[in-house]
Structure 1
Amino acid sequence: MTRTDVCCVISFQHCSVEMKLQCDVEVVNRMLPTFGMKSRGKGARAVLSIGKHLDKTSQRSSVYMMICTAKDRAGSKYKLKDNIEKFFTWFVEEGKATVRLKEPAVDICLSKADANSLKNFLSAARLADRGSDASSLPLSTLTPVRARDVEQPKKKLTIVSKKDYPLTSGFPYSLEQLQVSYCKLSRVDMRMLSLKALRKLDLSNNHIKKLPATIGDLSCLSELVLHNNHLESFSVALCLSTLQRTLQILDLSQNRLQALPAQFCQLRELVNLKLDDNELISLPFHIGRLSKLRFLSAAHNQLAVLPGDFRRLSLENLDLFGNPFVQPNSLDHKMNLTFPLPLQEMASRAVANLRITFGPDLIPAHLCRDLEVAKTCICSRVCVNFYIKTAVCMNLHQVSHTVVLVDDMGGTDAPVQQHFCSLSCYSEFLDNSLQRGIR
């Protein structure tokens, strides 16, 4: 026995599980091309086992591989000892491998297997081929399988009744879409967060008050629906998670949100965002950073004015109906300027205007936070904590192709915040506004 064989045997002796593997299998006859035929190139869900079988011809027990599928639950058996011509394991880390047999002349193509389970199975097959002592292998009994063992992996599951909610059994590991609605869930079931293939999670119409940060561990999640729950916040941790790279559709409508964190705009893959029927008094300061956003609805909230960064959006559809927007007055302003400007403000402005790289390793963390919410004046220069602020009227068609009417009067204008870095910029703005009014 080689050193590799000994290592495999030792690892198997520490493993009490039987030698079974669940994956997709295609058995390809290598003689088909001789007869001008091709394999169909598609695997079937199967359970593979390695165990002893009595050869009726020789009346001796040998180690065989048995493959059971939905069409052949009794299984087909293939002798292993001195019968494996070659293993193809280039893509074993992706759950793929091929075992080439001498007799019959077939290639057993394996795919969609757990990588570690596949490695153990191939190691056992290699030992059986070399004639290793069968007592050193965790052999299985070669018996027919149950129908559910060879069913295709379930990719979509919809539960819309509390009585159908799985309390004892788990969710199928292969799920890509999961909807659990009308089940009166007060929190997210942690079992859902182990579904690593999940692309869409719909938890609408429940009683969820808080989202666990571990939702951010769902590395494939592109759609999250939380419509009609009791959410009061959207955590910073979620904004900084892998959702930054994957989340495209987010529905937070009909909740109890009063604000979204500044870091919300880190979710830069968002295409569709629904915030209707909440209690939002403002939208995130840097909402313009959501450059891929095309559909935005925030109807029936408490928005009085939109952030200045709103101008940078490029939308296909926008709905802000039913918000208590104030009628902007250029003369109605908030003055937050001192003369001369404090040294810290001047330094912060210089860092922003000169686009100097900054970070908590270079300057204090509170200064980084200030610079993160720096405002842009109409002169294109930056102001940080000292400015003049007012609201100006903007036609929403400037940022969206289609606009749902803002009010019952048929208007498509809304107030947007505007900051000025100095009195001279504010005065110039007032002069231009007055001249437009005279015309």
Structure 2
Amino acid sequence: MKLQCEVEVINRMLPTFGMRNRGKGTRAVLSVGRQEGKRGAIYLMICTLKDKAGSRYKLENNIEQLFTKFLGEGKATIRLKEPALDICLSKAEMCSLKNFVSIVGLANKGSDAGTPLLSQLIPAKTSEIEKPRAKMFITSKKDYPITKNFPYSLEQLQVSYCKLARIDMRMLCLKKLQKLDLSNNHIKKLPKTIGDLICLQELILSHNYLESFEVALCNSTLSNSLKLLDLSENKIKALPVQICNFKELISLKIDENDLLQLPFTIGRLSKLRLISAAKNKLSCLPSTFKMLRLEKVDLFGNPFIQASPMVPDIQLKIPQTLLETAAREVARYRIPYGPQLIPATLCQDLSMAKTCDCGLSCLNSFIQIVVAMNLHQVSQTVVLVDTMGGTDAPIICYFCSLTCYSHFLDKYLQSIRD
């Protein structure tokens, strides 16, 4: 039975001689096993880089107390009777530490319950003692680990230029992973289990063959952790409207895809500060785009249409349907709703309601036009939209009634006269 953690061995007799302990933990491997040649004796062995052979301490009837109050934080202390030492453990994996302390307790009682897990004590290897690896960068197929697992302690992992056709499931077991860079591979589809990486903040998937981004990922734990999403240079035609669930998202890179439009919910990404969607097939921007407060926006190389505020697309239904009237009132008075109260399809319709310039909502009865918006209204830095030096882009506007559209026209015509 072995445990990797930090260890501080405190001699309780030193204060008697006016001396102090070092007060600093050392990376070590602890083993519980049988002393070579003494089948009945169980010992605790501590191996460090300075002492690879290990220091050994008898356990049976030699533990004065086990301190386990902070097991959940990866900490515990073993107090030996002879010698008078406190062995303080920290930065241990919680489940492994619980098992280890249990075995130590059984060994102290002389119980055989844990003996199937024990073997002869063998000095630890250097690779076992070294500090857990936090970063790994693989940029060649020949360096890709086939027989070995990825270190469980990884916080950053880059695997590029390895021609991966799918994401290795071993990567999805790295629960401490904060940054995953799988750029420049051949990945066509994302597994839903990426959402199990609860600490993931940066997901880089540029230069792959992705054709879609899974809705399930937008509803996973990534919605609370993801800050950077890079899907540049893939074959994605549409992003799900649920992308607005990434409420911590700061940077969104979707350059050089086949996007025909941005999700109309994109304006709900309140923390978004950078969006790069150059060289796609965008014809105009969704109405909620004007809600963003960006530091940089890049929409260069999209086939934007000309603004046409005088050519409305009228989809008003007169008289209004009962559904339309009810939906507008629910949005207006912010009445709570959910699938437990109304059909799920109605919940979806309400979540996709359009917002009129007057601030009211509309569902299926509206007037739609395309107007020009200077991108400096939403961003400090704007990459030119075209080679002519323009910073204007067409954006969709909705009106809930003829009255609202008439008010807009009056202001628009007045601005032209001025």
For Structure 1 versus Structure 2, the TM-score category normalised by the shorter chain is: over 0.9
CA shift in 2, pair 1:177/1:244, >3 Å? same
Measured in 1, the distance between the counterparts of 2:277 and 2:255 equals 4
The correspondence for 2:5, drawn from 16, 20, 23, is 23
Give the TM-score normalised by the residue count of structure 2: 0.95
Provide the residue aligned with 1:46 in structure 2.
29
The correspondence for 1:363, drawn from 335, 338, 342, is 342
Matches within 5 A, 1:359-438: 359-438=338-417
Provide the residue aligned with 1:84 in structure 2.
63
Matches within 5 A, 1:201-212: 201-212=180-191
The alignment partner of 1:123 has SS state of: helix
Amino acid aligned to 2:213: F
Deviations 1:114-154 (A, max 9, x none): 33332232223223323446995643212222222222211
Provide the residue aligned with 2:147 in structure 1.
168
Cα offset, 1:48, TM superposition = 2.1
Give the TM-score normalised by the residue count of structure 1: 0.91
Provide the residue aligned with 1:37 in structure 2.
20
CA shift in 2, pair 1:350/1:20, >3 Å? same
Cα offset, 1:232, TM superposition = 0.5
Is residue 50–residue 125 contact of structure 1 (8 Å, CA) maintained in 2? Answer: no
Provide the residue aligned with 1:7 in structure 2.
none
CA shift in 2, pair 1:305/1:329, >3 Å? same
Amino acid aligned to 1:21: L
The correspondence for 2:268, drawn from 289, 292, 298, is 289
CA RMSD in angstroms comes to 1.9
Provide the residue aligned with 1:320 in structure 2.
299
Is residue 277–residue 299 contact of structure 2 (8 Å, CA) maintained in 1? Answer: yes
CA shift in 2, pair 1:127/1:370, >3 Å? closer
Measured in 1, the distance between the counterparts of 2:151 and 2:193 equals 19
Measured in 2, the distance between the counterparts of 1:165 and 1:182 equals 10
Asked if residue 241 in structure 1 is aligned to residue 220 in structure 2, the reply is: yes
CA shift in 2, pair 1:417/1:104, >3 Å? same
| Matched positions, count | 417
The correspondence for 2:135, drawn from 136, 149, 156, is 156
Measured in 1, the distance between the counterparts of 2:304 and 2:15 equals 73
Deviations 1:294-335 (A, max 9, x none): 111111111111111011111111111111112212112211
Provide the residue aligned with 2:277 in structure 1.
298
Asked if residue 98 in structure 1 is aligned to residue 77 in structure 2, the reply is: yes
Is residue 337–residue 386 contact of structure 1 (8 Å, CA) maintained in 2? Answer: yes
Is residue 28–residue 46 contact of structure 2 (8 Å, CA) maintained in 1? Answer: no
Measured in 2, the distance between the counterparts of 1:62 and 1:429 equals 89
The correspondence for 1:262, drawn from 241, 260, 266, is 241
Amino acid aligned to 2:174: L
Is residue 5–residue 92 contact of structure 2 (8 Å, CA) maintained in 1? Answer: yes
Q: Percent identity?
A: 59
Provide the residue aligned with 2:165 in structure 1.
186
Matches within 5 A, 1:266-281: 266-281=245-260
Gaps of 5+ in 2: none
The alignment partner of 1:416 has SS state of: strand
Amino acid aligned to 1:30: R
Cα offset, 1:367, TM superposition = 1.6
Cα offset, 1:186, TM superposition = 0.9
Matches within 5 A, 1:203-222: 203-222=182-201
Is residue 226–residue 251 contact of structure 1 (8 Å, CA) maintained in 2? Answer: yes
CA shift in 2, pair 1:136/1:296, >3 Å? closer
Q: Which moved more, 1:43-52 or 1:201-210?
A: 43-52
Measured in 1, the distance between the counterparts of 2:328 and 2:144 equals 56
Is residue 49–residue 67 contact of structure 1 (8 Å, CA) maintained in 2? Answer: no
Cα offset, 1:113, TM superposition = 2.7
Provide the residue aligned with 2:100 in structure 1.
121
Provide the residue aligned with 2:322 in structure 1.
343
Is residue 47–residue 150 contact of structure 1 (8 Å, CA) maintained in 2? Answer: no
Amino acid aligned to 1:81: E
Is residue 34–residue 40 contact of structure 2 (8 Å, CA) maintained in 1? Answer: no
Measured in 1, the distance between the counterparts of 2:157 and 2:370 equals 43
